[in-house]
Amino acid sequence: MTAPQNPSFPTLTTRTTLMIAGADQQVRLDVTNALTAAAAVFATIGAVRMVLTDPAVVRALVAVLRRPATDGVTVVLPEQFLLRPERFTAGEHVVTVHWSTVPPSKITPGGAFDEQRRRHIHWVDVEAGPLVFRFFDRAGHRAFVAELARTAAVARSVLLPADDKALARGGGR
């Protein structure tokens, strides 16, 4: 008789792109089990839900998303850009990402000719783990990073640092 097999899932199952433009960026925050070892912050952005359990990871994610502006990459973007909202499904969670470690990241400027608008469109992609944050304008980048910084402030106030979680779970040094 063979031992029962536990299913094994790959750590990276998809690559999802969030298209971000405009100053009206909103991240919905939900918290569960605050100040316990099981604490989590759920940050919902459109069709993507991010599960955050370590304040250091949230800070690192914010730092990654700030890099395009500090590196000067966003200068190619217009101040404002309009994305057509009918292109996106509302109120449906397509993917959930659990940020348990700081993701590898990469910044890539991009662009293409848009036949409908009859002009060249520029964007900046920030790849962070399974998510690609695609910024089409500087206003959207500023507003989105500000929302993620707010998320980091909430995480700092309700999540235990990794060392404190180990102690709370009975681990320790």
Residues 13-29: tens digit of each pLDDT = 567 888 899 998 989 99
How large is the average pLDDT for residues 25-45? 92
Q: What pLDDT score does 85 carry? A: 57
pLDDT in tens, 65-105: 999 999 999 998 999 987 765 555 555 556 788 888 888 89
The first and second tokens of residue 157, run together, are 């106030």
- Spatial distance between the Cα atoms of 59 and 128, rounded to a whole number of angstroms: 13
Per-residue tokens: 109: 């400027």
| Torsion angles phi and psi, residue 128, rounded to 5 | -140, 105
Task: List the one residue out of 152, 137, 39, 118 whose CA is nearest residue 80.
Answer: 137
Q: 3-class SS at 121?
A: strand
Cα(111)–Cα(80) distance, integer angstroms? 16
**pTM (predicted TM-score):** 0.80
Closest listed residue to residue 151, CA positions, set 18, 59, 38, 34:
59
For residue 50, how many C-alpha atoms fall within 13 Å in the half-sphere facing its CB? 27
Residue 146: the pLDDT is 96
Examine the pLDDT at 64 and tell me if it is beyond 90.
yes
